[in-house]
Homo-oligomer: A and B are copies of this chain.
Amino acid sequence: MNKGFAIILVSGGMDSCVTAAIANREYAMALLHVNYGQRTEARELKAFTTIADYYKVKRRLVADISYLKEIGGSSLIDQKMKIEHSSSFRGRKIPSTYVPFRNTHFLAIATSWAEVIGADTIFIGAVEQDSSGYPDCRLSYFRAFNKLIGQGTKPETRITVKTPLISMSKRDIVIKGLKLEAPFHLTWSCYKESKRACGRCDSCILRLKGFSEAGIKDPTPYKK
């Protein structure tokens, strides 16, 4: 069987790692990572590189969009803003870590690259329900993006964005990853720290909840 050819967005967190594990079964992979001036940029890049090595992927692109830091408006990229501790994940307002329209920048890069190298699929590990509630992580957003690709690329181009985790719980993502031998030990999720994870930001809390509910020990080192 001829494998398809896909670009996988790999931030270095657990969701994108499991997404790569899923794509790896059916596609030849090219991996994309984006630096956007986030606090843990270097740690995430290290996670990306080691995950790409793990899957023996040669075709890699690391794109810098540091203008996002200049635009600001998010505690992930503005050191003057405070990252809230996680308290409740449903029904509250969009957290300060929301980076305005971020996924559009990521997917624009992936789509341009896909059109040039001839990939027909883009995988992104977005999660809708069990997440921080960012608007650009909703299924309706990705549907709209797929329509945009149809309008903004060459007539012969066929590229589809796929979101295999969109409806999964963090628990199910952990279980799926284990089954596919995703290298969780190489991933990094914390928004704030780069040596030992803080264990208190949205991203840490969601991760810890997933591992806890799956009954699995998270290999990430946490602050005491």
Residues of A near any B CB (own CB < 8 A): 61, 63-68, 70-73, 94, 98-105, 108-109, 111-113, 115-116, 135-136, 138, 140-141, 143-145, 147-155
Contacts and interface: CB of A to CB of B under 8 A. Distances in A.
A112 B154 CA distance: 26
A63 B36 CA distance: 12
Contacts of A94: 154
Given A70-B61, A108-B105, A151 B140 contact: yes
Contact of A112 (B102, B144, B153): B102
The main secondary structure of chain A at its interface with chain B is helix
Contact of A98 (B66, B150, B151, B154): B154
Contact of A141 (B115, B136, B148): B148
Given A68-B112, A73-B116, A115-B73, A152 B63 contact: no
Contacts of A116: 71-73, 100
